[in-house]
Amino acid sequence: MSNVSERLAALSPSETLAMSQKSNELKAKGVDVINLSVGEPDFNTPEHIKQAAKEAVDRNFSFYSPVPGYPALRQAICEKLQRENGLSYSPDQIVCSNGAKQAVCNVLLAVVSRGDEVIIPAPYWVSYPEMVTLADGHSVIVPAGIEQDFKITPAQLEAAITPRSKAFILCSPSNPTGSVYSREELEALASVLAKHPQIIIISDEIYEHINYLGAHQSIAQFSSLRDRVVVVNGVSKGYAMTGWRIGWIAAPKWIASACNTLQGQYTSGPCSVAQKAAEAAYTGDQSCVEEMRCAFERRRNLVVELISRIPGLKLNEPHGAFYIFPDCSHYFGKSYKGMSIRNSSDLAMYLLEEAHVACVAGAAFGAPDCIRMSYATSDENLKKAFERMVTALANLS
Ligand SMILES: Cc1ncc(COP(=O)(O)O)c(C=O)c1O
């Protein structure tokens, strides 16, 4: 008999991980599944970063690190923030964690008290509302549809704010939509937030380096918010290092200190060898980042072209990350061979079974009319996946 805590009973398992698992199960049975459900680059970690990790093993970086990470890594992160973002931080404002995932969760656990409200624009990354639940907070979802490029307006943000608002989570470039807020759009949101000094802004910038608009823009650049923005970032996506599990925050000292206390009792510092690899990522040659970004941009152009051949899927052109998030509601109410499509979960299941293409239904991201497809895979796989989807979707009537 299951007897989990109330806290755990309120949590949902990650739908993106579940879809990946389902597709792996089919693959294990010999089915040729093309997996567009994954949220990670398909590139190997660059050689010089792997080399640094091998050296760290030989140099016996095998002991506990300081809880917020080695001073050298935190210094390298401060230099990265200055060099790439024009933001000035000191190492005591940086806390390194087991991926950006733990970094976001740490901040929520550190600032949210029971009943506090956390404003989350939808579509959102699946874990945000679950983490808010874990922190005993209440998610206030602000919907932004495809007609507004999945980005909230300042008026929507203003309308969502109440005296209980404690935090606002912004993700740009966005998972799952690929939308990117411009400097002007961020400035307009910052003007609203400037009037509400109790709100902590959690700016998830994990897709910073996968951006097709040019220079990355951070909401931390606006001085009116500077003492309450927490930048979340890490090496997972930009350096093809998802498995190494290094993410971090750059935060006001009181938040960094709170996360340090939390992490000190919970997980301690992240893996010592992975920290040395992350340090090499930030201090070494950056050309690998641009090479991978270019490959993603080429694939973005390819999938935008391929999807235009499926008139039933409505797309906003993504400007960052490696996902497309088409509206698939055209197919709701249709069926084929006794399989009825009532929603995007049915469509994801239909595409898996009929086309052997794995995608993730939009409901998990707060956008039930949409479906997420990742283009972090080869051109050949993408072409094959779209060919199969064209046929399977044409069969629905
Ligand atoms: C928006 C967003 N934030 C954070 C993360 C977590 O990244 P990490 O692998 O560094 O924990 C992900 C990973 O999918 C993500 O998509």
What is residue 10's predicted lDDT score, i.e. its pLDDT? 85
What is residue 24's predicted lDDT score, i.e. its pLDDT? 86
What is residue 324's predicted lDDT score, i.e. its pLDDT? 98
Average pLDDT in the chain: 96
Output the residue whose Cα is nearest ligand 1's atom 14. Answer: 39
> Alpha-carbon distance 282 to 261, whole Å?
26
- Residue 234 CB less than 6 A away from ligand 1: yes
What is residue 149's predicted lDDT score, i.e. its pLDDT? 98
Report the nearest atom of ligand 1 relative to the CA of 242: 9
- Residue 236 CB less than 6 A away from ligand 1: yes
pLDDT tens-digit map of 43-74: 999 999 999 999 999 999 999 999 999 999 99
pLDDT tens-digit map of 268-312: 999 999 999 999 999 999 999 999 999 999 999 999 999 999 989
Domain 56-283 in this protein, CATH class? alpha beta
- Residue 99 CB less than 6 A away from ligand 1: yes
What is residue 2's predicted lDDT score, i.e. its pLDDT? 81
Q: Among 16, 95, 107, 125, which residue has the most ligand 1 atoms within 8 Å of its CB, making it the best to mutate?
A: 125
Report the nearest atom of ligand 1 relative to the CA of 40: 14
**Fold category of 6-44+288-394 in CATH:** Aspartate Aminotransferase, domain 1 (3.90.1150)
Q: What does the DSSP assignment read for 309-375?
A: T-TTSB-PPP-BTTEE--B-GGGTT-EETTEE--SHHHHHHHIIIII-EE-EEGGGGT-TTBEEEE-
Residue 80 has pLDDT above 70, yes or no: yes
Q: Among 175, 230, 365, 372, which residue has the most ligand 1 atoms within 8 Å of its CB, making it the best to mutate?
A: 175
Which band of pLDDT confidence, cut at 50, 70 and 90, is reported for residue 363? very high
Which spans in 86-126 are helix H? 99-111
Element (H, E) at 130: helix 127-134
Which band of pLDDT confidence, cut at 50, 70 and 90, is reported for residue 18? confident
> Model pTM greater than 0.75?
yes
Which band of pLDDT confidence, cut at 50, 70 and 90, is reported for residue 22? confident
Please compute the mean of the pLDDT values over residues 173-177 and round it to a whole number: 98
Minimal CA–CA distance to 274: which of 105, 92, 49? Answer: 49
What is residue 317's predicted lDDT score, i.e. its pLDDT? 94
What is residue 14's predicted lDDT score, i.e. its pLDDT? 74
Which band of pLDDT confidence, cut at 50, 70 and 90, is reported for residue 15? confident
Report the nearest atom of ligand 1 relative to the CA of 102: 11
What is residue 179's predicted lDDT score, i.e. its pLDDT? 98
Sign of CA dihedral 192, 197, 198, 203: positive
What is residue 296's predicted lDDT score, i.e. its pLDDT? 98
Which band of pLDDT confidence, cut at 50, 70 and 90, is reported for residue 344? very high
What is residue 23's predicted lDDT score, i.e. its pLDDT? 86
> Alpha-carbon distance 283 to 286, whole Å?
8
Residue 231 has pLDDT above 90, yes or no: yes
Structure token pair of residue 344: 């995007």
Same fold across 6-44+288-394 and 56-283:
no
Please compute the mean of the pLDDT values over residues 87-106 and round it to a whole number: 98
What is the DSSP secondary structure assignment for residue 17, as one 8-state letter?
H
Which band of pLDDT confidence, cut at 50, 70 and 90, is reported for residue 1? low
Q: What does the DSSP assignment read for 197-263?
A: TTPEEEEE-TTTTSBSSSS---GGG-GGGGGGEEEEEESTTTTT-GGG-EEEEE--HHHHHHHHHHH
Q: Tokens 């000094």 correspond to what residue? A: 197
Please compute the mean of the pLDDT values over residues 250-260 and round it to a whole number: 98
Please compute the mean of the pLDDT values over residues 144-160 and round it to a whole number: 98
| Pairing mode, strands 94-98 and 246-250 | antiparallel
Task: Evaluate whether 86 touches 183 at the Cβ level (below 8 Å).
Answer: no
Which band of pLDDT confidence, cut at 50, 70 and 90, is reported for residue 19? confident
Minimal CA–CA distance to 131: which of 118, 144, 142? Answer: 118
Domain ranges for the chain, please list them: 6-44+288-394, 56-283
State what percent of residues in the chain have pLDDT above 90.
Answer: 92
Q: Among 127, 172, 177, 248, which residue has the most ligand 1 atoms within 8 Å of its CB, making it the best to mutate?
A: 127
Residue 13 has pLDDT above 80, yes or no: no
Report the nearest atom of ligand 1 relative to the CA of 204: 3
